[in-house]
Amino acid sequence: MKFRAKIVDLACLNHFTRVSNMIAKLAKTCTLRISPEKLNFILSDKLASGGVSMWCELEQENIFSEFQMEGVSAENNEIYLELTSENLSRALKTAQNARALKIKLTNKHFPCLTVSVELLSSSSSSRIVTHDIPIKVIPRRLWKDLQEPSVPDSDVSIYLPALKTMKSVVEKMKNISNHLVIEANLNGDLNLKIETELVCVTTHFKDLGNPVLPSESVSQNRHPEDMVEVHIDIRKLLQFLAGQQVTPTKAVCNIVSNRMVHFDLLLDDISLQYFIPAWS
């Protein structure tokens, strides 16, 4: 099993750093899947994550100038590693003005992902910072739990409003109740509602637009004004929103009535999918 990759372009490095910062906010521990074409950050819907799952995908050739990997075997040419997300983002943080960054899989006392950064020091001699991130190799028998989640047939699909706005609204709502209702319709309306004995607060977002869905079967029978809702834990939504530091290129919210909400974001060339199950 081998992995080594190199980034030399500063823009690519910053992009990768931003992704890693986002992942660190979304999941304390996550799985990194390395395959010949892609890198994935995965959180599967286990009990530990409260049923939340995440799938983030990036094309390796958009980031790395050099990329070599050899998976577990020829038929299973992939590597699955578990790591603490914050370690990666901290390691990348030191690479702010790097000349080059190398990542490789190593085994120094324990299996690591070694991030090696070559910095330009002020006296123009190079300085090298190395981070050994401890990892756990995930055995092949567990890979089936870490596959790309199938996108469910949603009842409503709607474009999200500005995530910063959503975040500030949800942050305030969290102080009132943990139970949030997201509802949306095919007319571009999205509402966030919380309700307690004393007070009921709703924030209305209008004119958001709905993406055209490929399979029209379910939604065609629906009246555009009809709201579809799901009850979720507000903290999970807040965690998702807190991780979004950059304005996405595209942000879609898919609601499966009373089952789950699925966020589908595109940040330049990196895709992020985040699933929050209904409150149980």
Partner 1 sequence: MKCLITGGNVKVLGKAVHSLSRIGDELYLEPLKGGLSLRTVNSSRSAYACFLFAPLFFQQYQAASPGQDLLRCKILMKSFLSVFRSLAMVEKSVEKCCISLSGSNSHLVVQLHCKYGVKKTHNLSFQDCESLQAVFNPALCPHLLRAPARVLAEAVLSFPPALTEVTLGIGHGQRVILRSYQEEEADNANKAMVTETSIGEEDFQQLQAPEGIAVTFCLKEFRGLLSFAESANLSLSVHFDVPGRPVIFTIEDSLLDGHFVLATLLEQDPCSQDLCSPKPCQPVPQKEAHSTPPLDDFTNDDIDCYMIAMETTVGSEGSRAQPSTSLPHVSQPSHDLAPSSEEEEEAEPSTVPGTPPPKKFRSLFFGSILAPVHSPQGPSPVLAEDSDGEG
By CB under 8 A, name the binding residues for partner 1.
Answer: 1-2, 4, 72, 84, 87, 90-91, 94, 104-112, 114, 121-123, 125-134, 136-142
Q: Answer for the pair 265, 58: CB distance below 8 angstroms, yes or no.
A: no
Amino acid at 205: F
Question: Cβ 32 to partner 1, closest distance in Å?
Answer: 14
Instruction: Compare residues 94 and 187 and give the one whose CB is closer to partner 1.
Output: 94
State how far the Cα of 136 lies from the Cα of 39, in Å rounded to an integer: 17
Least Å distance, CB 137 to partner 1, is 6
Cα–Cα distances in Å, from 38 out to 61, 89, 91, 120, 250? 8, 19, 21, 29, 20
> With respect to partner 1, which residue has the nearer C-beta, 23 or 105?
105
Nearer to partner 1, 7 or 256 (CB): 7
**Which residue, 142 or 266, is less far from partner 1 as judged by CB?**
142
Q: Hey, what are 60's tokens?
A: 């390796």
CB of 67 to partner 1, least distance (A): 14
Token code pair at residue 185? 């319709």
- In angstroms, what is the minimal distance from the CB of 50 to partner 1? 22
Between the two ends of the chain, the Cα-to-Cα distance in Å is 41
